[in-house]
Amino acid sequence: MNILDEIVAAKRQEVATARTLRPEAVIRAAAEACNRPVHSLKETLANTPGGIIAEFKRRSPSKGFIHPGARIEEIVPGYAAAGASAISVLTDNPFFGGSADDLLHARRRTALPLLRKDFIIDEFQICEARIWGADAVLLIASVLSPDETLSLARYAHSLKLEVLLELHDANELCCLNKYVDVVGVNNRDLKSFSTDPARSFELVEQLPAETIKVSESGLSDPGVVRELKAAGFNGFLMGEIFMKEADPAQALARFMAEL
């Protein structure tokens, strides 16, 4: 069993446990009743020059803790002040050290679009995302069938949430559907966790021209980001390069200056 298989297996158990603690009918009703305005990730990336989706991440399965004492109350406002276009918040706890509280605290401290970054396999998690303050959810084609992707993306839209669909290769293009707002190309192999930005350059030409495109993971060189922008990418999801520093917001500000 590879890392991705382990994460998905743990996520299925996590969702099953959550259902015993909070009845599904209750959480669906709460999500459907939520009238909090949603900040569009799609429109923001289409209309801001930097396009950096700065990620809050304490640890990763491959590298362990990156920034164990990170305080979202400090880093999220700092990211916003440094010029981030949007913010990604890891909510997975066992593998990434995140939590629902991280997303809730982030929502109270910024009006930037917030992406719930997690391994979403069930509508229950999309309800959680709406309640916790997300504006968009991540769907990962590697762990979903085309039918599952369609169903989850449609349900996200019913709750006024946008969808970022993450692809890893051309075989996953079949997961694209009309409810996908943003397409991400993950440069990380989720089985080995190695990264290579070449994945983005290889896949971009096979994506619909009108699609808002995001390159994810393994980005640290401003020159490569400029090349990706020239190739057609609107956004760049980056976390470790900033989170490994003592002051992630300052690291983002330096990167933005180099761009």
Active-site positions read 55, 57, 117, 166, 186, 216-217
Q: How many CA atoms lie within 13 A of 89 on its CB side?
A: 31
- Work out whether strand 182-186 and strand 162-167 pair parallel, antiparallel, or are unpaired: parallel
Q: What is the 3-state secondary structure (H, E, C) of the chain?
A: CCHHHHHHHHHHHHHHHHHHHCCHHHHHHHHHHCCCCCCCHHHHHHHCCCCEEEEECCEECCCEECCCCCCHHHHHHHHHHHCCCEEEEECCCCCCCCCHHHHHHHHHHCCCCEEEECCCCCHHHHHHHHHHCCCEEEEEHHHCCHHHHHHHHHHHHHCCCEEEEEECCHHHHHHCCCCCCEEEEECECCCCCCECCHHHHHHHHHCCCCCEEEEECCCCCHHHHHHHHHHCCCEEEECHHHHCCCCHHHHHHHHHHHC
- What is each CA distance from 89 to 26, 45, 162, 258, in whole angstroms? 24, 17, 15, 24
C-alpha triplet 45, 46, 49: angle, nearest 5°: 70
